Amino acid sequence: MSSTAKTDRYDIIIAGGGMIGASMALALAPLGLRIAVVEAIARKSGEQPSFDDRSTALSRSTQRMFEAMGLWPDVIAAATPIHNIHVSDKGRFGFSHISAEQQGVEALGYVVINRVLGSVLQSKLAGLDGIDILCPARIIGVELGPDSAVAMVKADNSRKISNLSCSLLIAADGANSTVRAMLGISAQTSEYGQHAVVGNLLPEKSLDNCAFERFTSQGPLAILPIADDRAGFVWTVSEHDAQRVLALDDADFLAEIQSEFGYRLGKFSRVGKRAAYPLVLSKAVRLTATRSVLVGNSAHGLHPVSAQGFNLGMRDVAALCDCVADALGASGTVDAGDEQLLQRYATWRHSDQSKLVTFTDGLVRIFGSARAPIRILRDIGMIGFDLIPGVRSLFVKHTMGLAGRLPRLSRGVPLR
Ligand SMILES: Cc1cc2nc3c(=O)[nH]c(=O)nc-3n(C[C@H](O)[C@H](O)[C@H](O)COP(=O)(O)OP(=O)(O)OC[C@H]3O[C@@H](n4cnc5c(N)ncnc54)[C@H](O)[C@@H]3O)c2cc1C
């Protein structure tokens, strides 16, 4: 890893080398293009916002992508499979159950710690020719022209600003994307007034590869199977409660989360480090500008209730790779920032992104509400979810990322 560029002309520059930016570079690697990834914060820094201690549930389409990219053996070695999902509503009768067996798949998804996934992705990237990783360095300005985009890059250890030009600039710099703003693309945002408190704990009983989602009056609580019989939790609490919950001592914290979840997994103990994330829905008003494109959270930031933000971003990666691969000439060259290519990407991604934003937002509002009519509706929904044929498999198809027209990588087909 270095903070200086080896050339000043690239085919593609990726702004942000987090979960999506690093995956994007690895996915594009077989095409033999000259690529730079500019990442502001080193992976091992405690400040790294992407590769942190959160646990992420990888969908089946993300699994297929990592398989096609040749990374799956390393990812699965660090991941825990989900064989069942148990969905319940605190204080109400009934629950829904989805199983891998019924769906005819070996697992509904896999849980991986972001920090561990980061080390897999970055060690693969480090060994690739043709990809420069500029880190710690950030993009501080952008100039867009008809033939190229120029990224102004400043390394942390230097006062010099390098102007790096490229055919295509990909913004993968997260939900508060400054590059998106530099491209002149605004985003619609709406705050949920909630924080996700995340960490891990030790339940008395084994999770047995089951993931639990429990809707409470404050919001959803997810308990995910991770390594060493521990459970990762994502606990949604109201904004004004987040600091109080973080400040609780371990015993009081365990007592509160236990009272929300119940004793299905026996008594909780040994809670690890906790962190809180403010929850905001964001959606960019468009996905492209001249010679530039948005992927991942810079395009859409979701509530974690559906565990889909990263998976949706990976489908952006797969679709953009397909568009670039299709345009590759026999000589191996491509104008990756060609306007028609970018338009194909934007049109392709519109439906999947809009559906998942609406679906996730709907889940938060329906299941987070204590109002009586909505409670009745969601009880019917929970029962209907299990009994009405087709409803559950449609839901599962979407959460596994297998609905709609799929690009090569999402089908597990290598780009080359
Ligand atoms: C509590 C929680 C739980 C979640 N669980 C799941 C889950 O189970 N499944 C799932 O699919 N998704 C989940 N998500 C969503 C998932 O974490 C995000 O969708 C994913 O991290 C987005 O990755 P990204 O690379 O687009 O953005 P980020 O992770 O925000 O990374 C952006 C990167 O860009 C860098 N950067 C920023 N500005 C610049 C700049 N100017 N120049 C250079 N670099 C820059 C940053 O340092 C960072 O490394 C969860 C989210 C939360 C909050």
> How large a percentage of the chain has pLDDT more than 90?
70
Residue 366: pLDDT band (50, 70, 90) is confident
Q: Is 223 helix (H, G, I), strand (E, B) or coil?
A: strand
**pLDDT tens figures, 326-350:** 999 888 899 999 999 999 999 999 9
Phi, psi of 415 (to 5 degrees): -65, -35
Asked whether residue 377 carries a pLDDT value surpassing 70, the answer given is: no
Q: Which two tokens stand for residue 188?
A: 């619609």
Contact yes or no for 13/111 (Cβ under 8 A): no
The pLDDT-based confidence of 105 (bands split at 50, 70, 90) is: confident
More confident residue, 268 or 306: 268
**Rounded Cα–Cα distance for residues 405 and 400 (Å):** 14
Q: What is the pLDDT of residue 8?
A: 87
Q: How confident is the model at residue 95 (pLDDT cuts 50, 70, 90)?
A: confident
Q: In what order do the strands lie in the sheet with 109-113?
A: 55-58, 109-113, 80-82
Mean pLDDT on 1-20: 86
Q: Is the pLDDT of residue 295 over 70?
A: yes
Residue bearing the CA closest to ligand 1, atom 29: 50
Taking residues 200-204, what's their average pLDDT?
97
pLDDT in the model for residue 52: 93
Question: 23-27, 61-65, 361-365: which has the highest mean pLDDT?
Answer: 23-27
**pLDDT at residue 386 tops 80:** no
What backbone phi and psi angles, to 5 degrees, belong to 100? -65, -40
Task: Please compute the mean of the pLDDT values over residues 242-267 and round it to a whole number.
Answer: 96
Whether 402 has a pLDDT exceeding 80, the answer reads no
Residues of the chain with CATH 3.30.9.10: 189-279
Task: Report CA-CA distances (Å) from 244 to 21, 191, 280.
Answer: 34, 20, 20
Token couple for 223: 């308990």
- Rounded to an integer, the average pLDDT of 20-29 is 98
Q: From ligand 1's centre to the CA of 112, what distance in Å?
A: 14
pTM: 0.93
Mean pLDDT of the chain, nearest integer = 90
- What pLDDT was estimated at residue 371? 60
Residues of the chain with CATH 3.50.50.60: 9-188+280-411
pLDDT of residue 367: 66
Using alpha carbons, list the distances in angstroms from residue 71 to 63, 210, 313: 9, 24, 17
Q: Which atom of ligand 1 is nearest to the CA of 18?
A: 49
pLDDT of 236 > 80? The answer is yes
- pLDDT at position 318 is 97
- Per-residue confidence (pLDDT) for residue 351, from 0 to 100: 87
Asked if 202 and 270 count as a contact pair (C-beta separation under 8 A), the reply is yes
- Please report the atom of ligand 1 found closest to the CA of residue 179: 41
CATH number of 9-188+280-411: 3.50.50.60
Report CA(100)–ligand 1 centroid distance (Å): 27
Amino acid 381: pLDDT:
54
Supply 345's token pair: 């990407």
- State the distance from the centre of ligand 1 to the C-alpha of 91, rounded, in angstroms: 33
- List CB contacts of 56: < 8 A, sequence separation 6 or more: 19, 111, 112, 113, 114, 117, 307, 310
pLDDT tier, 217 (very low <50, low <70, confident <90, very high otherwise): confident
Q: Please give the pLDDT value at position 355.
A: 86
Contact criterion met (CB below 8 Å) for 110 and 120: no
Helix, strand, coil shares of the chain, percent, nearest 5, are 35, 30, 35
Q: Which amino acid is at 322?
A: D
Question: Helix 372-387 to helix 391-399 angle, to the nearest 10 degrees?
Answer: 90
Say how many Å lie between the CA of residue 212 and the centre of ligand 1.
23
Q: Which residues contact 271 (CB under 8 A, 6 or more apart)?
A: 199, 200, 201, 250, 253, 254, 257
In angstroms, the CA 120 to CA 192 distance is: 33
CA of 298 to the centre of ligand 1 (A): 9
Q: Can you point out the beta strands (E) in 80-217?
A: 80-82, 84-89, 95-99, 109-113, 131-134, 137-144, 149-155, 161-171, 187-203, 210-215
Q: Where are the beta strands (DSSP E) in 176-291?
A: 187-203, 210-215, 220-225, 231-238, 268-269, 275-284, 288-289
Q: What one-letter code names the amino acid at 214? A: R
User: Is 245's pLDDT higher than 90?
Assistant: yes
Residue 379 has pLDDT above 70, yes or no: no
For 189-279, give the CATH class: alpha beta
240/195 Cα distance (integer angstroms): 9
**In this structure, are strands 210-215 and 84-89 parallel, antiparallel, or unpaired?**
parallel
The predicted-structure confidence for 106-159, as pLDDT tens digits, reads as follows 998 999 999 999 999 999 999 898 999 999 999 999 999 999 999 999 999 889
When pLDDT is averaged across residues 342-366 and rounded to a whole number, the result is 88
Residue 319 confidence (pLDDT) above 80? yes
Pocket test for ligand 1, best of 273, 297, 316, 353 (most atoms within 8 A of CB): 297
Tell me the pLDDT band of 103, cut-offs 50, 70 and 90.
Answer: confident
The single-letter code of the amino acid at 344 is R
pLDDT band at 219 (very low <50, low <70, confident <90, very high): confident
